[in-house]
Chains A and B, each alone.
Chain A
Amino acid sequence: MVRQLLHHSVVRRGTQMVVTLFGVAVFVFIMLRAIPGNQITAGLGTEAAALTPAQRAALESYYGLDKPLLTQFFGWLGNVCTGNLGVSSRSQQSVLDMTMHSLPVTIELAILSIVLGLVIGVPLGMLSASKPESPRDAIGQTVGLAGLSIPAFLLATALLSVLAQVWGYNPNGRVFAPITQDVLLNLQQMMLPAFVLGFGIAAPIMRTTRTAVLDVRSEDFVRTARAKGVPVRRLYVRHILGNALVPIVTMTGLQFGYLLGGAVVVEQVFSIPGIGRQVLLGIQQKEYAVVQSTVLVIAVAFVLVNLLTDVLYRVIDPRVRAS
């Protein structure tokens, strides 16, 4: 029974995930130790040079820098596991508190982007696949190529600048409204960033849909359904799309990493106080405690979403479930 459980792929994935996350923590820890200087010089800037040896020792003991690296690492990891992600020395706000405010914003942005990505990508992919090598395929492919090749920062900056400077429309110029306070303003502020990110992920979704639909279309059951006289629309939506869903869901899940990375850029351009902007501000203000914990939170979120995609794909595809 235990053996069976251990062999169960979800359990195996779970174990692998824990090992990976531990490695991620080590990696983040080492990376931030590699920064020239430490919390003291970073926090004080040039004033650090004026510290007496005694003051420096006191600060090092305060930050735990005088302890062996292993002790420092496990101390930090222990803190992280109990929810103590450190404190921003600039705003004196706890990083956990900052993350509780910024993470939901980014999750909302990611969900809206995925919805837009699917709304643009799936129909476009089906349109392309309905008649390969035709003008409509060319249109689909061109939009796909544009999505892959136009950088998010360029599309975001161009849209914002043109709308704001030429038409004077700039909801993002106002203070950010969380969705719990002002739904209408929030959606206006989220619309452009979500479109930029959605356009970016629409391209791989479109390409995957096209290939999957072409693959499924040539199968026997589709020919049977066609012969039985199933209407074209029903054939495409129910028979073909239903079976092409597995690669599409997998591809959409894989795009989450792009979304979290793209969020850094897009949130910065549109002044959206999400988790990407939290990292970037941390880097710009040399708040390494904030950067360290936030990067860890994002990596955990990313690994969890990948696991979720894996589980979801088992639910959708009965063949994988059975094996």
Chain B
Amino acid sequence: MSELTELPVTVAGTARRPLTAVLRSRSGLAGIILTGLLLVVAILSLTGVLPYDATAQDPVHRLAAPSASHWFGTDQFGRDVFARVAAGVANSSLIAVVAVTFATTVGTAGGLIGGFFRRLPDALISGLTNILFAFPPLLLALSLASVFTRTWFTVAVAIAVVYVPIFVRVTRGPVLSLREVEFVRAATSTGESRIAVMLRHVLPNLTSILVVQIALSLSWAVLTEASLSFLGLGTPPPAPSLGSMIFESRTLVSIAPWTMAAPGVVVVLLVVGLNLLGDGLRDVLDPRNRGTR
């Protein structure tokens, strides 16, 4: 029984209006503002309303310092750093969102099936999870990214595979406890199919755990994508990526510090924003964290 008391099953009752609660928490609000601002910039870049193109070269104005016409200056090919950073944020966000969506879907399905059916499916899923957990995360992403022919989508898949086991693990435990809870047993005894019970009664009670995990995974996914592209295994050029921009700028620091500072600050802000959002959501949604803060 002690397991049940610790269970975050009380989701529906913990916060009537989670969004208002997150907005009220300091870190949640800061996270929403930061991430929101960067997303707006990314969307502007995708719609093409920014004055410069991210890949257009202008040799005459190369390595120009930040000014009114080039807010973040230009790089060694005269490309506008602001436009490149904006396109990089769009690119990173796209990869992170696709990767985390994939990981959430597959991982949650795995956790649900393993926890609910036990026996062979559980043994197989847990075994696979243990194997994936045996690799340091970045190393696994790196090896997978090197295996596929590189496109933004394969990079997303490589990152997703790393996060699948995390979602299996965070959902399986609660599912194990939930299947013994009375309302789930009652639903099973009324003759509802097991899949219906899983989707209608178990899954909704995992929402809070999943929401927090998704926010934190997004920040890791952004970091992983940036690290991969820094190592030359991320999004292929000429598409701008924050990681590869930082790699290219390393020899320019003393003459054009903005080429490193701009993508550097933006990648940190994006990750900070997502981390703050995750922390805020956790404070609001996870009953286990109450009182420790």
Chain A positions within 8 Å of B, measured between CB atoms, are 16, 19-21, 23-24, 26-28, 31-32, 34-36, 132, 145, 148-154, 157-158, 160-162, 165-166, 211, 214-215, 256-262, 264-265, 268, 276, 279-280, 283-284, 291, 295, 298-299, 302-303
Contacts and interface: CB of A to CB of B under 8 A. Distances in A.
Nearest to B270: A149
Nearest to B137: A261
13 contacts: A23-B134, A24-B131, A27-B131, A31-B143, A145-B272, A148-B275, A150-B271, A151-B243, A153-B230, A157-B260, A257-B136, A261-B137, A279-B139
B29 interface: no
Contact of B139 (A27, A35, A153, A295): A295
A298 B139 contact: yes
Contact of A165 (B149, B254, B272): B254
Contacts of A132: 293
Nearest 5 CB-CB pairings of A with B? A261-B138, A23-B131, A261-B136, A161-B253, A260-B136
Given A19-B127, A34-B147, A268-B231, A302 B271 contact: no
Contacts of B105: none
B231 A264 contact: yes
A262 B138 CA distance: 7
Nearest to A16: B130
Contact of A32 (B134, B147, B243): B147
A239 B77 CA distance: 60
Contact of A295 (B135, B219, B226, B246): B135
Q: Is the interface of A mostly helix, strand, loop or mixed?
A: helix
A197 to B, nearest CB: 12
B52 interface: no
B130 A20 contact: yes
A153 B131 CA distance: 27
Interface in B206-263: 219, 223, 226-227, 230-233, 243, 246-247, 250-251, 253-254, 260
A264 B138 contact: yes
A303 B260 contact: no
B50 to A, nearest CB: 24
Contacts of A31: 143-144, 147
Contact of A153 (B137, B146, B243): B243
Interface of B: 127-128, 130-132, 134-139, 142-144, 146-147, 149, 219, 223, 226-227, 230-233, 243, 246-247, 250-251, 253-254, 260, 264, 267-268, 271-272, 275-276, 292-293
Nearest to B216: A148
Q: Is the interface of B mostly helix, strand, loop or mixed?
A: helix
Given A21-B134, A23-B131, A157-B250, A150 B139 contact: no
Given A151-B243, A158-B260, 12 more contacts: A23-B134, A31-B143, A150-B271, A152-B227, A153-B231, A157-B247, A161-B253, A161-B254, A264-B138, A283-B142, A298-B136, A299-B134
Given A158-B260, A279-B142, A153 B246 contact: yes
A264 B139 contact: yes
A279 B233 CA distance: 13
A123 to B, nearest CB: 20
A154 B253 contact: no
Contacts of B132: 27
A34 B132 CA distance: 17
B116 to A, nearest CB: 22
Nearest to A282: B146
Contact of A258 (B137, B219, B230, B231): B137
Central interface residue in B127, B128, B227, B247, by most chain A CB within 10 Å: B227
A29 to B, nearest CB: 12
A24 B135 contact: yes
A280 B231 contact: yes
A152 B144 CA distance: 20
Contacts of A28: 143
A36 B139 CA distance: 20
Contacts of B144: 31
Nearest to B130: A20
B107 to A, nearest CB: 17
B272 A149 contact: yes
A19 B134 CA distance: 11
B267 A151 contact: yes
B138 A265 contact: yes
A161 B255 CA distance: 11
A107 B40 CA distance: 43
A149 B253 CA distance: 21
Contacts of A157: 230, 246-247, 250, 260
Contacts of B138: 258, 261-262, 264-265
